[in-house]
Amino acid sequence: MPKTICLALTGASGMPYGMRLLECLLAAGCRVQLIYSPAARIVAREESTLELPERAADAETLFKARFANQPGALEVFGHEDWCAPVASGSSPPEAMIVCPCTMGTLAAIAQGLADNLIERAADVALKEGRKLILVPRETPFSAIHLENMLRASRAGALILPPNPGFYHHPRSVGDLVDFVVARLLDQVGVAHALTKRWGGEST
């Protein structure tokens, strides 16, 4: 059975990570449940020259055309769509990744606020014991940020800042993006061949 992964995009810098992750998940045959915040639309426009539609249905049409040759399945849900499957513990995904993750989203998840679908889906992942990966793209971290990361980690979330390595001798920005995406795919058990592992073996 293909894996079901919820991918949430928020308004932190780092949209190339999220877009590449979406592409790789679909290429691996995963069923992806995509959610993005209003602020993510602004960041996508600035960083990727990508116009994310306001309506989820329009975004689903856009991405299905963009990734038409990929074997995976894609569903896009609105930021306030409380009828989405990810809003209920009766239908949780196998894993959820928030990439990139704003400090505000991190704080809300750490405090269990669940005021929108991204926060609610993360809350469901934690309470159902599913893997939740947060990719906070911020620097430097304040004491508040660090405390929220620790609180989320203690609740069961995995904190994976997008810090690329250099032992694979990257030659492009894309190589740096792939390094981080490869670590995310490893964490949700999705096979890939994006980078070489330490010691020289290809993934």
Element (H, E) at 60: helix 56-66
36-73 pLDDT, tens digit each = 999 999 999 999 888 999 999 999 999 999 999 999 99
User: What is the Cα Rg of the chain in Å?
Assistant: 16
Looking up tokens 């994006």 gives 194
> Rounded to two decimals, what is the model's pTM?
0.95
Length of the chain: 203
88-119 pLDDT, tens digit each = 999 999 999 999 999 999 999 999 999 999 99
Mean pLDDT across the stretch 29-35? 98
User: Domains of the chain by range and CATH?
Assistant: 4-187 (3.40.50.1950)
152-185 pLDDT, tens digit each = 999 999 999 999 999 889 999 999 999 999 999 9
CA distances (Å), origin 41, targets 28, 35, 54, 105, 113? 25, 11, 8, 15, 22
